[in-house]
Amino acid sequence: LKNPWRPDMEGWDRAVEAMRELVDFSGSMRPYIKRIIGVGGDTIEISDGRVYLNGKDLHEPYVAASPWSDYGRVTVPEGYVFVMGDNRNNSDDSRGSVGFLRTNRIVGRAMLRYYPLKKACVMRRPDVY
């Protein structure tokens, strides 16, 4: 079976873009929307304000600001994903209390941005599948 979180395709940039979708998952109190950074078997590291996926620096133009703190090298367990918010310095995500997120807790994908109104848009899914 193919891993639905990592489609088989050529080209590093296209594979990374396929994983970095905004997903909605059930938190302890309310749903959260975060970005998938890594899937089972991936190695994640944050150093000097840069996020590294399997040793390669991620290009993340959507991030509000580079992370202030480093995060040690971790490997995402199979059946889990590593998620981060776009506001990296004020986000409850896999680096903190959320931890690795079981894939069965993902309940949807962000499709519409409605706030702030001047940035309202339909969110286009990367054309990689």
CATH at residue 58 = 2.10.109.10
**Which residues form the domain of 75?**
12-122
Instruction: Confirm whether 7 is domain-assigned.
Output: no
Residue 73 lies in a domain: yes
Q: Is the peptide bond prior to 116 cis by the omega test (within 30 degrees of 0)?
A: yes
Among residues 128, 104, 93, 110, the alpha carbon closest in space to that of 40 is found at 104
pLDDT digits (tens, 9 = 90+) for 16-42: 444 445 555 555 556 677 888 999 999
Q: What is the pTM of this model?
A: 0.72
Q: How many domains does the chain have?
A: 1
**Per the domain annotation, does 51 fall within a domain?**
yes
Q: What is the pLDDT of residues 54-92, one digit of tens each?
A: 999 988 887 878 888 999 899 999 999 999 888 888 888
